[in-house]
């Protein structure tokens, strides 16, 4: 048989999704893959029940149903102040995952450099491989996850065509400040680069942190490609509804890539989700209050158990420092944590370009009972880790 493709030969399977399989095998509390275990808003699921009867059940327009794009444009303008033309500046995709891939395929030629902050969301590595981009990593240095503007400028000087900005950030929970965004915008303008923003956590923020949209900064509207999603905002990760918002010239290209990648997002799910896009501000305030509660319960709980953890400003992840256990192999440690302690995390090294092996990532978008169960199990971690050698 001929060899399979070179391009995809170096893919590992996703560590995040692999940890979910390990969690299921051992009956561990699964705090690895980031999805809520609570129900989506009932207005959305009730509308879905109606749509099951009424339709639509056939293909929507390839770049997304008209009423969905119109509702999305209104929501985007409401929160960011950006006026968005629903016909020329939006493509609805199968999750932001497809949105990011379509954005990369639209911007990047094989061999082009793309700046990626590290730690980074695992998928960007695969997006780079599939689009042929060469990532140039710029560290966000723990514990504050700050970047050095000089190092960032060096990355642009290497001829980077684009930068991927995950804001709020998975896994470190960083929310970029206005000053930081201004540095990024200044360099993008100076070096004539695109910025692809991953804003899937735009509504999951902890006071006093606020989400600022890079695209509103001067000169950024035409070079920013916003990628976002309904997955996290409405707790519907399985619906696979995401989108790309950008200048018409860019969107024209994204439409074509998207058309040949997937044809379109699920028509009945778009129809049902319009209700969510039309929610009043109170919905987003309640969402933030709910996440503030889960963060206090779980991150506060880890602190009370004496663990050293990050203090997320946004998104729903926390990084825990496990150096006290002498961890060198964070993957082995995470497997042991799932099988013996009964809590599944993601090994931190899967998010870092640098050699970082002393962190694990938990997510806390879960019911109180789930988080309390995880904390109860983690209470035994120190005792159970004594004498263990398999990750050193
Ligand atoms: C930063 C980030 N971007 C994108 C995604 C994928 O989102 P979607 O469900 O919209 O494909 C995730 C999911 O965890 C994420 O954390």
Reply yes or no on whether the pLDDT at 268 is more than 90. Answer: yes
Q: Report which ligand 1 atom has the smallest distance to the Cα of 98.
A: 11
Same domain for 193 and 73, yes or no, is yes
274 plus 296 within the same structural domain: no
Do 306 and 255 share a domain, yes or no?
no
Parent domain of 126 = 56-279
302 assigned to some structural domain: yes
Does 323 lie in the same domain as 307? Answer: yes
Overall number of domains in the chain: 2
Establish whether residue 99 lines the binding site of ligand 1, counting it when its CB lies within 6 angstroms of any ligand atom.
Answer: no
- Residues 148 and 22 occupy one common structural domain: no
Instruction: Give 385 Cα–ligand 1 centroid separation in angstroms.
Output: 32
Predicted local distance difference test score (pLDDT) of residue 390: 76
Q: What mean pLDDT value characterizes the chain?
A: 96
Domain shared by 99 and 194, yes or no = yes
Ligand 1, residue 201: give the atom nearest the CA: 1
Mean pLDDT lowest for which of 216-225, 354-363, 381-390? Answer: 381-390
At 371, which CATH number?
Answer: 3.90.1150.10
Determine the pLDDT at residue 275: 98
Phi-psi group of 219: left, alpha or beta (phi > 0 → left; psi -120 to 50 → alpha; rest → beta): left
Measuring from atom 1 of ligand 1, which residue has the nearest CA? 170
Q: Is residue 47 part of a domain?
A: no
* Residues 203, 207, 212: CA angle, nearest 5 degrees: 50
* pLDDT tens string 189-207: 999 999 999 999 999 999 9
Per-residue pLDDT averaged across 70-98, rounded?
Answer: 98
Q: Note whether 254 and 324 are same-domain residues.
A: no
**Residue among 169, 232, 241 to mutate when testing ligand 1 (max atoms within 8 A of CB):** 232
* Domain final position from 279, 297, 325: 279
224 near 246, Cβ under 8 Å?
yes
DSSP per-residue string spanning 142-174: TTTTB--HHHHHHHHHTT--EEEEESSPTTT--
Question: What's the confidence (pLDDT) of residue 210?
Answer: 97
126 with 240, same domain? Answer: yes
Domain co-membership, 224 together with 291 = no
Atom of ligand 1 nearest to the CA of 228: 10
Tens digit of each residue's pLDDT (9 = 90 or more) over 10-36: 887 788 888 999 999 999 999 998 889
Asked whether 135 lines ligand 1 (CB < 6 A), one says: no
Q: State the DSSP code for 58.
A: S
Asked if 101 and 261 count as a contact pair (C-beta separation under 8 A), the reply is yes
In eight-state DSSP terms, residue 23 is H
Pocket lining: 97 vs ligand 1, CB cutoff 6 Å: yes
CATH at residue 273:
3.40.640.10
Residues 111 and 155 in one domain: yes
**Which pLDDT value is given to residue 135?**
95
pLDDT digits (tens, 9 = 90+) for 253-263: 999 999 999 99
């Amino acid at each position: 048989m001929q060899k399979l493709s070179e391009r995809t030969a170096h893919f590992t399977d996703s560590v995040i999704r692999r940890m979910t399989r390990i969690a299921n095998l051992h009956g561990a509390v699964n705090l690895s893959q980031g999805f809520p275990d609570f129900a989506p808003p009932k207005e959305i699921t009730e509308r879905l029940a109606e749509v099951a009867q009424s339709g639509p059940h056939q293909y929507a327009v390839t770049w997304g149903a008209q009423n969905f794009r119109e509702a999305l444009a209104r929501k985007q303008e409401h929160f960011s102040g950006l006026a968005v033309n629903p016909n020329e500046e939006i493509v609805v995709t199968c999750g932001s995952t497809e949105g990011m891939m379509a954005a990369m395929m639209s911007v990047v030629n094989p061999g082009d450099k793309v700046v990626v902050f590290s730690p980074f969301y695992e998928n960007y590595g695969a997006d780079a491989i599939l689009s042929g981009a060469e990532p140039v990593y710029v560290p966000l240095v723990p514990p504050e996850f700050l970047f050095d503007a000089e190092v960032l400028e060096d990355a642009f000087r290497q001829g980077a065509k684009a930068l991927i900005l995950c804001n709020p950030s998975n896994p470190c929970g960083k929310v970029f400040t206005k000053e930081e965004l201004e540095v990024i915008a200044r360099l993008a303008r100076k070096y004539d680069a695109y910025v692809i923003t991953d804003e899937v956590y735009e509504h999951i923020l902890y006071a006093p942190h606020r989400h600022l949209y890079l695209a509103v900064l001067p000169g950024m509207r035409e070079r920013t490609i916003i990628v976002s999603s309904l997955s996290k905002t409405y707790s519907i990760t399985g619906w696979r509804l995401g989108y790309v918002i950008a200048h018409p010239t860019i969107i024209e290209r994204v439409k074509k890539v998207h058309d040949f990648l997937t044809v379109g997002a699920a028509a009945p799910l778009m129809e049902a989700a319009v209700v969510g896009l039309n929610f009043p501000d109170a919905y987003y305030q309640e969402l933030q209050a709910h996440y503030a509660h889960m963060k206090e319960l779980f991150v506060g709980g880890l602190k009370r158990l004496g663990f050293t953890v990050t203090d997320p400003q946004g998104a729903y992840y926390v990084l825990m420092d496990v150096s006290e256990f002498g961890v060198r192999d964070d993957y082995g440690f995470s497997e042991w944590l799932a099988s013996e302690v009964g809590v599944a995390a993601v090994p931190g090294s899967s998010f870092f370009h640098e050699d970082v092996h002393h962190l694990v990532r938990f997510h806390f978008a879960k019911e109180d009972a789930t988080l309390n169960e995880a904390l109860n199990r983690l209470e035994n971690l120190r005792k159970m880790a004594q004498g263990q050698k398999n990750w050193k």
